[in-house]
Structure 1
Amino acid sequence: MRVEVVIGDWDHHCCGDVVRRGDRVDWTCYSEAADGTLHETHHDLDGFPVTQVRGTIVHLLARETGQLTRIDRVPSGRALCGFDPDDDGTVFGLESGAELEGSSLDFVVVVEHSH
């Protein structure tokens, strides 16, 4: 079963690692929206229902002004904020090769969920 998880915003900028297609993940996620959208988190969520998402990343998408663009990796939060000396945080469209504005992006990760 495939599951979509949103990463980004302050949580990823604070503590998120680089994410690539093919990576295996074991994430704690919460849902705050009525539509059931899952958000990956690194923080304590006492009192909130959480879901574990374990599996392999099969697709990565960057959401910029409502449009989704396929990408190959999500830079770490440290890189997106300009604090990684080895990674400038640049995000490129997979098909176009065009540079996307990484600091204003949210990312949708499609995970092939394994139980």
Structure 2
Amino acid sequence: MKVVVEIDVGEHQCCGDAIELSQLVDLPCTRWQDSDGRIRLLEAFHETPVETRARGRVTDLAAVFDDGSSLPIARVPGGAALRGFDEHDDGHLEVPWTGELIAGVGRAFLVTVKL
């Protein structure tokens, strides 16, 4: 079974760790119900109550932009890198397999986890 966890970019910039394709993760999540009744998993940060965890291997990563479009990405840089404070990571988003740079970071990251 696969689940998709949405990670808010602003929260991730604060204290998020880098996430790579094929990485084993254990993401604390809260549930959010959309107006259409659909349940989404959002990564829980700080004081947000943890309702469930997404434990498994990362199979897909994407960045979601303000216009609602999304693009696959090779990795999610850590928060410090996204803010420009990681000397070992430039914090850029890249297209998988080509390394082409993606302008901006968007508003959210989608992490697909195979449980």
TM-score after normalising by structure 2: 0.84
After the TM superposition, which residues 92-107 of structure 1 pair with which residues of structure 2 at under 5 Å, given as runs? 92-94=94-96, 97-107=99-109
* Per-residue deviation, 1:27: 1.2
After the TM superposition, which residues 65-80 of structure 1 pair with which residues of structure 2 at under 5 Å, given as runs? 65-80=67-82
1:39-84, Cα deviation, whole Å (9 max, x unpaired): 11232224xx611111110111111232221111000011111111
Give the distance between the partners of 2:107 and 2:101, measured in 1 at CA. Answer: 12
Segments of structure 2 that go 5 or more residues without pairing to the other structure are none
Q: Contact 1:63 / 1:107 at 8 angstroms: preserved in 2?
A: yes
Residue aligned with 1:104, SS = coil
* Per-residue deviation, 1:24: 0.6
RMSD of aligned alpha carbons: 1.8
Q: Contact 1:81 / 1:103 at 8 angstroms: preserved in 2?
A: no
Aligned to 2:39: 36
Runs of 4+ in 1 over 4 A off after TM superposition: none
Residue aligned with 1:37, SS = strand
Residue aligned with 2:39, SS = coil
Give the distance between the partners of 2:82 and 2:2, measured in 1 at CA. Answer: 27
Give the distance between the partners of 2:51 and 2:103, measured in 1 at CA. Answer: 30
Segments of structure 1 that go 5 or more residues without pairing to the other structure are none
Give the distance between the partners of 2:107 and 2:95, measured in 1 at CA. Answer: 12
Paired amino acid for 1:44: E
Paired amino acid for 1:57: V
Paired amino acid for 1:112: K
